[in-house]
Amino acid sequence: MIVTIDGPAGSGKSTTARNAAAELHYVYLDTGAMYRAVALGFLRADAAATSEAADRVLPALSVDVSYQDSAMQVYLNEEEVTAHLRTAEVGAIVSDISTLAPVRDYMVEQQRRIGHEQAEVHGGVVVDGRDTGTVVFPEADLKIFMVADVEERARRRLQEYEAAGEHISLAEVQAEIEERDQQDRTRDIAPLRRAEDAVEFDTTDCTIDEQVAFVVNRVKAHPAWGT
Ligand code: DC
């Protein structure tokens, strides 16, 4: 079974998808982390977010994931980089990097392969991102589109930065999120939007447990559950 959760930054997708996957004994595929690994590759190559740079950098760059006790690890050119992806430096360029067509083509190909392989092995996969229900897995069994007020999303993202030891103000985080939303929604290729057959879920006033329960209940109510 393939379950997609798309939505803007800070809507609660990642934690919800990770915990729901654990409860269902599925695996979690974080497509944002894969884009972040590509962005880290660009940073390390000192490359700007242009298609010329992509032509130079991408052929020498590989991104893959592996699972250890169902936790996802991300590899950039075979080096484990999971702990280096949620930094402000990567956050500042990842949206630009993710607008590049060759980057998206490579990511979609890898995500489809990993998703199908993992669904085969574990019975299901919960994928989160921006275009997972529209482009990567248009045939997904269940699609959820998560939204939340921007102030609440900024507060959540600030906590993540603080947990990573980065100190930045709430206003700065909110401005960054608003800019990123705008860019993700208006880009030409695979913009952030709700798939027609996705269920919209507003998480502004929800706890993580409520969000996870929403997803788990939807999955268990699905005809493909347990087949
Ligand atoms: O969810 P996140 O903040 O880790 O995502 C990082 C960036 O990657 C975000 O700017 C949008 C982009 N992204 C995307 O374009 N498509 C996806 N499926 C996932 C993320």
Q: Are strands 125-129 and 2-6 parallel, antiparallel or unpaired?
A: parallel
CA 131 to centroid of ligand 1, rounded, Å: 9
CA 226 to centroid of ligand 1, rounded, Å: 30
Q: Is any ligand 1 atom within 6 A of the Cβ of residue 211?
A: no
CA 35 to centroid of ligand 1, rounded, Å: 6
DSSP string across 84-109: GSSSHHHHHHHHHHTT-HHHHHHHHH
Per-residue confidence (pLDDT) for residue 88, from 0 to 100: 84
Q: Which atom of ligand 1 is closest in space to residue 91's alpha carbon?
A: 6
Per-residue confidence (pLDDT) for residue 214, from 0 to 100: 98
For every residue of 48-82, which 3-state class applies, written as one string?
Answer: CCCHHHHHHHHHHCCEEEEEECCEEEEEECCEECH
Q: Is any ligand 1 atom within 6 A of the Cβ of residue 57?
A: no
Cut 0.75: pTM above it: yes
Per-residue confidence (pLDDT) for residue 10, from 0 to 100: 85
CA quadruple 52, 191, 95, 29: dihedral sign:
negative
Q: Is any ligand 1 atom within 6 A of the Cβ of residue 94?
A: yes
Per-residue confidence (pLDDT) for residue 68, from 0 to 100: 87
**Burial of residue 75 (number of CB atoms within 10 Å: 0-12, 13-18, 19+):** middle
Helix (H) or strand (E) segment spanning residue 143: strand 142-147
Which stretches in the chain have pLDDT values below 70? Answer: none
Per-residue confidence (pLDDT) for residue 144, from 0 to 100: 98
Q: Is any ligand 1 atom within 6 A of the Cβ of residue 98?
A: yes
Q: How is residue 116 written in tokens? A: 């199908």
Tens-digit pLDDT profile for residues 28-66: 999 999 999 999 999 999 999 999 999 999 999 999 999
